[in-house]
Amino acid sequence: MFKVTPQLDPGGPTVRFRFEGRELQAPEGMNLAAALLSNGEIVFRESPVTGAPRGPFCLMGICFECLVVIDGKSGRQACMVDVAENMDIRRQRRPEEEP
Amino acid sequence: MTAQAQNFDLAILGAGPAGLAAAAVASELGLSCVLLDEQDQPGGQIYRGLGRMAARLPDRLAMFGTSYQRGLPLLQGLHAARIDYRPGTLVWQIDPPGRIWTHGTGPVEEIEATRLLLCSGAMERPVPVPGWTLPGVLGAGAAQIILKSAGLVPDAPVVFVGNGPLLYLLLSQYQAAGIEPAAVLLTGGIHDWAGGALHLPGFLASGALPEAAKLLAALRRSSARIVRQVSDVSIVGKAAVEAVAFMSQGRREFIPACLVCLHEGVIPHTQLTRLIGCAHHWDKQQHAYRPSLDRWGNTTIEGIQVAGDGGGIAGARAAELTGRIAALEAARALGRLTEDERDRRSAPDRRKLARILRGRSFIDTLYGPRLARRPPADETIVCRCEEVTAEQVRQAVREGCKGPNQVKSFLRCGMGSCQGRFCGLAVAQIIAAERGVPMDEVGYYRIRPPIKPIELGALAEMAEV
Amino acid sequence: MARIADVVIIGAGIQGCSAALHCRQRGLSVIVVEKDHVGRHASGVNAGGVRRLNRHPAEIPLSVASMHIWHGIEDLLGDDCGFRISGQVRIAETPADLETLKTRAQHVRDLGFTHEEIIGREELYELVPALAAHCLGALIARDDGFANPAQTTRAFCRRATELGAMFLEGCRAEPPRRHGNVWEVPTTAGTVQAATIVNTAGAWGDAIAAALGEPVPIEPVAPMLMITDRLPAFITPVVGSASRYMSFKQLPNGTALIGGGTLGTADPAGNLTRLDLPGLATLAEAARALFPIMRRTRVVRCWAGIEGQLPDGIPVVGPSSTEPGVFHAFGFSSHGFQLGPVIGRIVAELIADGQSTLPLEPFSIARFAAHKQDTRLKEAS
């Protein structure tokens, strides 16, 4: 869906992290929501009401659509955090499906 | 308890242009000042990513126009001055006039300040259309944020929908990166210019014309299909965006897309001022609620001021100016400046501000919301968090609900994670339309702490102190 | 032109709406006057506990009778009110707690009631597996539960309206005046005339009582609550503790509602409450201490409604001690919700039959006659 345009590629180190068990890469310090989008992921969670797929909307911490589970902690806004090496990210699911 | 000082003359919430400018002035005047911001980097949204880009890719700043670079002195000023700047810090409760509870990576902390200056800025105006909750729909502001801060551009067909200078700005920035949307569906049209003409002189005098001209040029250059005066927009798809449907000149059309940038301007982010209990009023011109302020940014609550877009949309340059003016007033209220000194020092900023504000009427009229102003179709989800539709809100009104708080208790709209940020305006509009009363009569959700969710354990730890 | 009815009810919380319904069922015409909107205050924002458990002995007969009505609430109102028979437990965290609860259980049995019993550790942890490990047992009322307070209050209003009661919202009552057998209640929407006044004005009920020459020492209080994110279902009964002011329940949508006696500040004139952060912290700590898995759960919102607290912790229910044709039912001291269904019936009985089938002596407004004396003395000096 999104890619880093070459003109704005800082070209520094990258980090490896996991989303839903899949290993992904992104530039070090990139906003986590942006890091997921740049890896083609647009579904970050399920709506707790109907389970409908949801993805980021405002990217500034207002809409709460980008909620993901980061290293086991749920309810984290992906747009408010930077990606880091070894981060384990999962979609936030409806409570019935949580382990 | 930490070793950091917890008592200040002035606490500033928000490190965007208003907050940064205010902090610089406050610090110059010798006020003890703390600048609190939820994000890890200063600049708010308008200057998001600016610091990093200036450090790593300085020759790329030009891509974003001179207005982006105007933030650099503000960021530099932050480092130069001895301001107690606390990034990554959420303010989750305020007890006016000046007790603030914060939460960063450590435990919950309490800060006392004699005065507060709220610089929460603006948020994307919610534009509820059917399908707007599908993954792949972003605000234009959001697309701009990930462009500035992460260099991201679409690599799939994107359709722009809406109205407002930010759409044109995004378009020109994408053009500079070699990206063209599949279509730009503008909800405004030629008839808007008639209304705008009244305000044109003010706009021309405001100095905004050159910038505006550049944006319009981007539109003319674009190879995207441009359609004006679209209506009845809906976003189509099963699990993600697949197409945008709309009406134009009496015909229903579909444009395939994977991404949609939806935007009809920005509105003040009033969650904190609502929490505190400041009076707000409906601004017809901006089609939004704003806190009621005097010319120094004082709210109706003693000791609490607002500066920047959070007090009414006027843009980044105006935010700086209102931030500076508010800081001067804070100094006066704290007895560090006389009224005359305050008036004298603020006079040049006031003149500049007046020029900018004269241009606002034109922009507000020309680029006001169209889709977001019309009653949404029944099946449209208006409360995204709790999936409450427009029809459900209308039904609640028919059953006797007079305002958003009653509707909330019926339907749970406004009870989800965003606590009404994204549905407050739409729900109030639907109620007003259904009841046939003005917006000021309908009112808004009662906002309560925490401003953003806080862990039970973090709250509990406060009991141990 | 005045509006006229047999009964004018002041205050459309659950007591007033229940009274409206029951009066209609007894064939009395009803006008309800409400200064804000139905269920705006305590009735709309409380923790929704539907319990007989741990009530003041005077309230037990009323509470037991009310529970019968609760168990048929859907038939009565055409709305399930979100009522769930989840059970309610009051946990003993210490040996002293356990003794207190055992004494209580015996006392209730001595009074002739069987709805409260003691359970030991084994059954407690079967019922509430998420409970912290240190608890010793509990007092349980198996058929208690919880409901949605706003939904319930509205359901009473809706049913009463269907039966012909008139509700005037945004309509503030002024002190009533009597002309012979007719009461006149001036309001902001005109005068309402009736043979009978029912005072169900909650935390504002004292204004009316005082105007009738029978002031009561009511204190407006603001019990605080908090609600969390949705969680996987992990607890069924409503849980309280003998050691703490806390009530904990998980709602059907998965959110956890935590309430109790920790107070904020109430401003009834302004319809406002202010939250007390140390109190919220204590509440959070209580929840965390009893349910350690909640430590990471996010609190999404805190609030407080306005309740009328009386010094002995039980309401004023019954006829006026100074004037004919006036009946009071207010001052429920933060636990009136479960009593709502029966209170309405009691009010209708008092009006239609001149007496109630339930014992109301302990709730008499006359018990505050000394307060009336004190107030007069204060005014005189």
Strand B288-291 to B99-103 pairing? unpaired
Which residue from A minimizes the CA distance to B176? A7
Q: Which member of B48, B134, B259 has the closest CB to residue A1? A: B259
CA-based end-to-end distance of chain B: 8
What local confidence, expressed as pLDDT, does residue C2 receive?
83
Which residue from C minimizes the CA distance to B463? C281
Residue A21's domain is classified under what CATH number?
Answer: 3.10.20.440
| CB-CB neighbors (< 8 A) of A56 in chain B | 138, 142
Query: B455: closest CA among C293, C75, C76?
Result: C293
Tell me if A8 is assigned to some domain: no
On the question of pLDDT at C381 being above 60, the answer is no
The stretches of B45-134 forming alpha helices (DSSP H) are 50-56, 65-69, 72-80
| CB-CB neighbors (< 8 A) of C38 in chain B | 400
Q: Which chains touch B (3 or more CB pairs under 8 A)?
A: A, C
DSSP 8-class letter at C81: T
On the question of pLDDT at C59 being above 60, the answer is yes
State chain B's mean pLDDT as an integer: 93
Q: Which residues pair with B236 in a beta bridge?
A: B243
Tell me if A19 is assigned to some domain: yes
Tell me if A52 is assigned to some domain: yes
Total of domains in chain A: 1
Residues C227-276 have pLDDT tens digits of 999 999 999 999 999 999 899 999 999 999 999 889 999 999 999 999 99
Contacts of B370 (CB under 8 A, 6+ apart): B163, B187, B188, B231, B264
Token readout for C307 is 């309740």
| CB-CB neighbors (< 8 A) of B41 in chain A | none
Instruction: Supply the range of the domain harboring residue A19.
Output: 13-93
Give me the half-sphere count of Cα atoms (radius 13 Å) on the Cβ side of residue C347: 38
| CB-CB neighbors (< 8 A) of A12 in chain B | 56
Residues C63-103 have pLDDT tens digits of 999 999 999 999 999 999 999 999 999 999 999 999 999 99
Which burial class, exposed, middle or buried, applies to B322 when counting CB atoms under 10 A from its CB (0-12, 13-18, 19+)?
buried
Cβ under 8 Å to A: B residues 203-262: 239-240, 258-259
Q: Does B114 touch chain A (CB under 8 A)?
A: no
CA C337 – CA B80 distance, rounded (Å): 59
Token readout for C115 is 């709805």
Strand ranges inside B25-165, DSSP E: 33-36, 84-86, 90-95, 99-103, 108-118, 122-124, 137-139, 152-154, 158-163
On the question of pLDDT at B1 being above 60, the answer is no
Contacts of C183 (CB under 8 A, 6+ apart): C8, C176, C177, C193, C194, C195, C196, C197, C325, C326
Q: Which member of A30, A37, A67 has the closest CB to residue B417? A: A67
| CB-CB neighbors (< 8 A) of C296 in chain A | 73-74
Rounded to whole angstroms, what are the CA distances from B97 to B4, C45, C280? 21, 27, 20
Tell me if A6 is assigned to some domain: no
Query: B150: closest CA among A57, C206, A4?
Result: A4
3-state secondary structure (DSSP) of residue C316? strand
Query: C134: closest CA among C95, C160, C173, C107?
Result: C95
Rounded to whole angstroms, what are the CA distances from A59 to B146, B208, B229, B386? 8, 27, 28, 19
Q: Do B460 and C288 touch (CB under 8 A)?
A: yes
Residues in chain C: 381
Tell me if A39 is assigned to some domain: yes
Under 8 Å between Cβ of C204 and C332: no
What local confidence, expressed as pLDDT, does residue B429 receive?
97
Q: Which member of A9, A10, A54 has the closest CB to residue B133? A: A54
Q: Which residues pair with B381 in a beta bridge?
A: B389
Band of pLDDT at residue A99, cut at 50, 70 and 90: very low
Which residue from B minimizes the CA distance to C285? B460
Above 0.85 for ipTM, yes or no? yes
Tell me if A7 is assigned to some domain: no
On the question of pLDDT at B190 being above 70, the answer is no
Tell me if A2 is assigned to some domain: no
Under 8 Å between Cβ of C33 and C9: yes
Tell me if A45 is assigned to some domain: yes
CA B425 – CA B422 distance, rounded (Å): 7
What local confidence, expressed as pLDDT, does residue C373 receive?
67
